[in-house]
Amino acid sequence: MGTFKVNQFIGIISIALFSGCVNENYFGASAEKKILAFTLTNQTGNTNIIEASKTIRVKVSADAMLAALKPTQITLSTFAKIAPAIDITRDFSNPVAYTVTAEDGTTETYMVVVEQEGANPQLENSSFDQWYTTPKGYEEPGENASSIWATGNAGVVTLGDANVTPFTINGIDRAAKLVTADLGSLAGLVGQRMGAGSMFTGKFELDIANPLNSTKFGISYSAKPKQFSVNYAYAPGTPYLDKDGQVLSKTDSCDIYVLLENRESGEAKRVATGWFRSGKKEIDAFKTVTVDLWYGTLPNDVPAYQKPTNGLYANSNEKATHITVVFSSSYNGAFFEGGTNSTLVVNNFALIY
């Protein structure tokens, strides 16, 4: 029997099986009825969904009207439905019940609890005292997976050990330690030799095909700080390698920066910029650096790396909707290069109003 006839025969059998013998309800209706994601207007930070108690905790800005808020996103289990619907405004002065109905008709009720921030909010776990253990065994900053802080650990551990880890100071105080890792010759073959230690507000969703797309920077935020400060220690490492593993005559630097953006139009417009970069060895004792936030278009003499890559700035009537805070042990980490074992330790990040 020729190849064409064999394939044709298999196709006929497949059609017969799937159209004549298989009941489309063979596996039954789905019983899944979870709320997988939930966000509100005027939200700040990430949502905390506590599945064990069916509680959803959300923070909103100080100027939000609790009596008139509505969801901007609700993600459910496949085939599930929710009531009230996403487009209905509710009074969140007290907990609000949302009922999820599965395809099979069974239901689950979640309580949404909303907390309003103060006028001068700080980011949660900005002291970096809290760390949780992931299913793969490495630690991440935050109380659980809903943390506003993320790292590049999920990508690095595919080839080595986590390079953002908790660091204990004086046996008591916890901080975050970020180390640039040489990921080896295999990573160099695909132009990803160096893995900078990176920690940021947002999410890391590993995209193997396009690693730079793995980082989802920014969380909801609407306040207007004037400065930020952080305690840090840094030591640039050697040798300095590029993405292919070639040695370059460069000295590494750390990057610590804060960006405020308006994303209402679907594009990120820069509201304010605060950036610190240093290659000076200051690992022996912690330093406190305080950086001003510049609102509006950056002056011409500001280094190009501080300016928005899309060239967009918000106008004076557009307030911040998101904040991105980034710590990196290598300033060119996005290009998979840096000093081997460059080490940055950060502690007690604060926004100053």
Judged against a pLDDT cut of 80, whether residue 255 lies above it is answered with yes
pLDDT of residue 170: 86
What 3-state class would DSSP assign to 333? helix
Both tokens of 143, joined, read 């109380």
Helix (H) / strand (E) element for 16: namely: helix 3-16
Q: Tokens 């605060």 identify what position?
A: 274
User: In this structure, what token pair is assigned to residue 185?
Assistant: 């010759």
In terms of phi and psi (left: phi > 0; alpha: psi -120 to 50; beta: otherwise), the region of 243 is alpha
pLDDT at 262 over 80: yes
In this prediction, residue 212 carries a pLDDT of 66
Residues 6 or more apart from 223 whose CB is under 8 A from it? 44, 61, 62, 117, 119, 120, 121, 320, 351, 353
The number of angstroms, rounded, from the C-alpha of 106 to the middle of its chain's C-alpha atoms is 33
Q: How high is the mean pLDDT of the chain?
A: 90
Q: Where do you find CATH 2.60.120.890 in the chain?
A: 131-352
- CATH number for the domain whose boundaries are 131-352: 2.60.120.890
Q: How many residues belong to the chain?
A: 353
pLDDT tens digits, residue range 67-88? 999 999 999 999 999 999 999 9
What is the pLDDT at residue 14? 36
Q: Residues with Cβ < 8 Å from 295, sequence gap 6 or more?
A: 271, 272
pLDDT (tens digit per residue) in 178-223? 999 999 998 889 899 999 999 999 998 877 667 667 789 999 998 9
Write down the pLDDT at residue 24. Answer: 45
| Intervals of CATH 2.60.40.2340 along the chain | 35-116
At 3, is the pLDDT very low, low, confident or very high (cuts 50, 70, 90)? very low
* Residue 23's pLDDT band (cuts 50, 70, 90): very low
Dihedral of alpha carbons 258, 262, 266, 267, sign: negative
For residues 79 and 30, the answer to whether their CB atoms sit within 8 Å is yes
pTM, two decimal places: 0.81
CA angle 73, 126, 203 (to 5 degrees): 35
- Give the CATH number of domain 35-116; options: 3.30.70.20, 3.40.50.10490, 2.60.40.2340, 3.40.50.720: 2.60.40.2340
Strand order of the β-sheet with 343-352 is 164-169, 173-179, 343-352, 227-235, 287-292
Q: Given the structure tokens 């659980």, which residue do they identify?
A: 144
- For 336-345, the pLDDT digits (tens) are 999 999 999 9
Q: Is the pLDDT of residue 118 over 90?
A: no
Residue 40 scores a pLDDT above 70: yes
